Structure 1
Amino acid sequence: MNKRLIVLSALIGIGGVSGCSGPAQQSAETGGTGKEQAQAGRSAPTEPVELSVFSAGGTQNEEFEKNYAELIKKKFPHVTIKYINPRDGEGNKFENLILSGVNIDLYYESIGTFFSTLSRNKAQYDLSSLIKERGLDLNRFEPTLIDAVRKNGKGEIWGLPVTTNGMSLYYNKELFDKFGVPYLKDGMTWDELYETANGLNRTDGDKKIAGLAISPSHSMRMNVYSLPFVDPQTMQATFGNERWKQVLDPILAPAKESAYRAKMDELEGKLPYSGEWLKKQELAIFGVFSDWQVVSPTPVPFDWDIAAYPTNKEMPGIGSQQYPVYWSIPAFAKHKEQAFEVLSFLVSDEYQLALSKRGGMTVLNNPSIQKAFGQDSPNKDKNLNAAYYNKFAPISPKTDFEKTAENAITNKLVDLAYGRTDLNTALRQATEEANKEIQAASR
């Protein structure tokens, strides 16, 4: 993820959990079904135990303590959490920890490399038996999140989603007001959005204003067609699929306007991005993770709002894919039963409701928890329901070479935007470059 987009994002603080009901009480807001499901069946041992938790993304130590460790220890006083952060040194890399025989009871990572990392290190463990024993109902989850686990795990359940994200549109209402352009509304098509954005490509004094930018990495990874970068059957890049032209259109369509390309010139040949929206206020609309500013500790310095991600005419009501973070219990974990009890808590209605209120998107298919999105944040009066306005597209399959192929096409975007190369040529070159790297790495 681009450093300019690093916020609390998927790893949300759940400070409000301390006020939630205990296991014997039923939440008035959720009916208590999630906790009952999560705690049904045989209980885990309650003797004192230390659980080691590894974050592949390197969650900051203080964030992990606030977002997870404190809440787990409050819920389970007999559990001590030891956090292993790969940022703390080469010895803390997952592969090196395995070679050193270090125990890891819980492992979490975003979907892009979650499955490939586990399989590459032979660390995958099917949670199906524990799920059945504890009576954890997978129907509580948003369906695409569980479908993705089953497909990538070849029918096995290698992990459970704890946090997730979708795509939405952030827009600067002050720029809309200045140029007399109607605000965005939920349910727009891409063509309608392009028309609106073209009216916002303006010169305002010495400032060049761009109407629309969509985060390239997020929009490609979470595309509505569920296209993977690499076909898991052939291990070849998929850019030969004609749908990739539609996937790239939201990134490239704004650059058809000369005023937009003038903005790129000003940015020394770069596409407008988050800094132009948030800091410079020279970008009217930015498509990005739904929780981007909902969870940010720093207030946005202008009037803004959110709208639902646009849809294609041929796929009405279908928005982006989700990009979840999955938690797993590695095959070599020493305390699987206790680790699963902690994992069950993280997917309970109790935890997920508090997460949603703080501004994190829930992994549960529970309307009341979804409607609570951001209600304890300073941005509760924004159109936060836009995050759930559309249905989510199925999540595309993942391989070891997602980033390899993504980089190959990303490197073509500026030339495409300027018209220095055509789309067919760029897709062909990206295919050749990605396949060459994949082949070399697979030898």
Structure 2
Amino acid sequence: MTNQEVCMIGTASIKGRRALPLVAFAAVASLVTACTAGGADGGEDSSGTTTITVMAGAQDLPDTMIADFEQKNPGIKVKHILTDPTRLNTMLAAGQPPDIASGPAVGSANNNARGLATDLTPFLAKSTVLKEDDLQSVNDSFRWDGKRSGAGPIYGIVKDWSQDATLWYNTALFDAAGVPHLSDTKAISYDDLLQIAKKLTVAKGGTTTVHGLGLEWAWSLYGPMSAMVMQQGGQLYNDDLTKIDLTTPQARRAFQWYVDFAKAGVGPTSLNPLADGSDFPTFSAGRMAITQDGYWFGGNFTGADALKTVRMAPAPTMGDSRVNPTYGGQGWWIPAKSKNKDAAWKLMEYYMAGPPAEARASSGWGLPSLKSLMTRLPQDKPWQKDAYAVAQNELQYAKPLPDSPYISMDALNATLDKHLQSAIKGNATVDQATAAATKEINKALAQGKDQVG
């Protein structure tokens, strides 16, 4: 997704798994006079038809899906506008939001803390097709109890998700390097993973022809580093999520591992990125042995000409506790000032529990949000059966990431990357870099707390 408005106030991306940016709401409101809100016009017309506005990605809500919904719900029309965080923030500030907006569960705390989203608990209680007890635990990251995410009323529904620390690997490259295949059930340590990546990396004439390991560095640093800390029994934030500490032994170890990874030259970093910013083209071309991606990654290999030597493995661990979270969990939410909540909920039911949800599950592009749809995941091919078994076993290690309402995932990732680069280049020691990152993030958290109140 890109920011196209002149009054730009933030960015968000990564394959629908990146959080919306944290902005000063008052500052957004001051821009409304200079920037159009984009018009969430809708409501009931003279014929009794209600038009709902939905802000979602083009691939998430195609015209054929809209036509099918409208045919099944003749009193409702859907106006689709493409996801644009800047436009959404402007519409929210103007009090003219879309009736449905998209965004990740991990990262929703800021919206919920500011009262921007609708409590969906009453809708779930009345629904005959979408039941609260059928929701996968990933949806708990959309919960907000007034102080933190993970508990209380639910303010969004995840459309699909993955445990993003899992590994995918090319068995042919393992065989060529004489490296044993990864276990389907036993988690490899991050230290051992780095050593294996060194054996799998192939360089000729100063050019890397095979990357041993890809981390999707450009997509998330906070997610995997936070999971590494949790695996060691530590925590990044204080109890009220107003301060972070990257200087603890657990956080420092995670930071050091990323520095070691970069210096080993076994995979892309922000200092040596892939041209397209994604592991898939390189992995599918047989030029990357391992990539750290969620279950959704397997959806790439369903075609007749797809890579036949792909396999999935459990998330690596940095401590005694196995933790495999989702870094985002893209979903839909209904803004608090939506004028057509009942009609919007009809589309939510259709999209999250109807034919679109069934099709998403059957495609393998992520795990379904509903427990009842889990058996629809593809298992026709041997590697799909193996991946399904790994995914089912990994569910027990799914734990939510801490989500402070006072800072965005984009800001966290950018700050971590900045100070990782400093340490990788040798401009700062790991101790200096983690201390500087802690200071910078805590300053942003304090500003965010002032904004939210």
AA paired with 1:389?
A: N
- Please say if 1:239 is aligned against 2:236: no
| Distance in 2 separating the partners of 1:286 and 1:237 | 28
Q: Which whole-Å CA distance do the structure 2 matches of 1:109 and 1:148 have between them?
A: 10
Q: Is the 1:322–1:392 contact (alpha carbons within 8 Å) kept by the matching residues of 2?
A: no
- For residues 48-100 of structure 1, the C-alpha deviation after alignment (integer angstroms, 9 at most, x for no partner) is 32211123xxx13x65225852453354343211112355x97xx12332455
**C-alpha deviations, 1:190-234, integer Å up to 9, x for none?**
244334223213335774343223234435325434588765825
Shift of 1:109: 0.9
Q: Which residue of 2 aligns with 1:39?
A: none
Do the aligned residues in 2 keep the contact of 1:123 with 1:331 (CA within 8 Å)? yes
Q: 2:182 aligns with which of 172, 175, 184?
A: 184
Contact 2:201 2:211 in 1 (8 A): yes
**Contact 2:283/2:291, CA 8 A, preserved across alignment:** no
Determine helix, strand or coil for the equivalent of 1:237: coil
Aligned with residue 131 of structure 1, among 124, 128, 133: 124
Q: Does 1:346 align with 2:351?
A: yes
Work out whether residues 278 and 300 of structure 1, in 8 Å CA contact, stay in contact via their aligned partners in 2. no
For residues 101 and 321 of structure 1, do their structure 2 counterparts lie closer, same or farther at Cα, with a shift above 3 Å needed? closer
Letter in 2 for 1:128: T
Please identify, of 423-432 and 376-385, the stretch whose mean Cα deviation from structure 2 is larger.
376-385
Q: Provide the residue aligned with 1:54 in structure 2.
A: 55
Q: Of 279, 288, 302, which aligns to 1:283? A: 288
Displacement after TM superposition at 1:236 (Å): 2.7
- CA offset at residue 114 of structure 1? 3.0
Normalising by structure 2, what TM-score? 0.71
CA-CA distance at 1:381 after TM superposition: 6.7
Name the CA shift for 1:74/1:162 in 2 (closer, same or farther; >3 Å). farther
- Cα distance in 1, alignment partners of residues 306 and 17 from structure 2: 16
> CA RMSD of the aligned region, Å?
4.0
Q: Is the 8 A contact 2:150 2:400 kept in 1?
A: no
- Unaligned regions of 5+ residues in structure 2, if any? 3-10, 19-47
Aligned-residue offset at 1:438: 4.3
**What is the aligned counterpart of 2:373 among 349, 369, 372?**
369
Counterpart check, 1:80 vs 2:62: no
Deviates more, 1:270-279 or 1:74-83: 270-279
CA deviations on 1:341-378 (whole Å, 9 max, x unpaired) are 22223332754332111123234463x73343345899
Residues 133-170 of structure 1 show CA distances to partners (whole Å, capped at 9, x for unaligned) of 33653221222422551442872222222222222212
Q: Letter of the aligned partner of 1:115 in structure 2?
A: A
1:33-432 aligned at under 5 Å gives the runs 48-55=49-56, 59-60=57-58, 63-65=60-62, 68-87=65-84, 93-98=87-92, 100=94, 102=96, 104-117=98-111, 119-120=113-114, 122-134=115-127, 136-146=130-140, 148-150=142-144, 151-152=148-149, 155-167=152-164, 168-186=166-184, 187-190=186-189, 191-204=191-204, 207-208=207-208, 209-216=210-217, 217-218=219-220, 220-222=222-224, 223-224=226-227, 225=229, 233=240, 235-248=242-255, 251-255=258-262, 257=264, 260=265, 269-270=271-272, 274-275=278-279, 277-278=282-283, 281-292=286-297, 294-295=299-300, 303-316=309-322, 318-348=323-353, 351-364=356-369, 366=371, 369-375=373-379, 380=384, 383-390=387-394, 391-402=397-408, 403-417=410-424, 420-432=427-439
Cα distance change, pair 379–180 in 1 and its aligned pair in 2 (3 A): closer
Find the aligned partners of 2:273 and 2:424 in 1 and give their Cα distance.
8
Q: Deviations over 1:281-339 (max 9, x none)?
A: 443212123313524898656843322222345114x3233521232222222222222
Identify if the C-alpha distance between structure 1 residues 438 and 9 changes in structure 2 by more than 3 Å, giving closer, same or farther.
closer
How many residues align? The count is 392
The range that moved more, 102-111 or 206-215, is: 206-215
Task: Provide the C-alpha distance between the structure 2 equivalents of 1:195 and 1:430, rounded to a whole number of angstroms.
Answer: 27
Deviation at 1:429? 0.7
Please give the alpha-carbon distance, in whole angstroms, between the structure 2 residues aligned to 1:112 and 1:8: 12
Q: Is the 8 A contact 1:232 1:397 kept in 2?
A: no
Question: 2 CA distance for matches of 1:153 and 1:8?
Answer: 20
Q: Deviations over 1:94-124 (max 9, x none)?
A: 233245553522222113443323544x422
Distance 1:154 1:69, change over 3 A: same
> Distance in 2 between the 1:398 and 1:161 partners?
19
1:287/1:235 Cα in 2 relative to 1: closer, same or farther (>3 Å)?
A: same
Return closer, same or farther for 1:200/1:103 CA change in 2, 3 Å cut-off. closer
Q: Distance in 2 between matches of 1:290 and 1:183?
A: 18
2:174 aligns to what SS in structure 1? helix
CA contact (8 A) 1:360 1:374 kept: no
Distance 2:62 2:430 in 1: 47
Letter aligned with residue 118 of structure 2:
Y
- Structure 1 residues 330, 365: closer, same or farther in 2, change over 3 A? closer
C-alpha displacement at 1:279, in angstroms?
7.1
Residue 246 of structure 2 aligns to a residue whose secondary structure is: coil
Gaps of 5+ in 1: 11-46
Q: In 2, are the aligned partners of 1:215 and 1:251 still within 8 Å (CA)?
A: no
- 1:123 & 1:427 partners in 2: Cα distance? 33
Whole-Å separation in 2 of the counterparts to 1:78 and 1:322: 37
Cα 1:269–1:256 change in 2 (3 A) is closer
Equivalent residue number for residue 19 of structure 1: none
Deviations 1:251-271 (A, max 9, x none): 3443464xx27x77xx89426
AA at the equivalent of 1:235: T
Q: Which amino acid aligns with 2:182?
A: L
Write the distance in 1 (CA, Å) between the matches of 2:332 and 2:293: 24
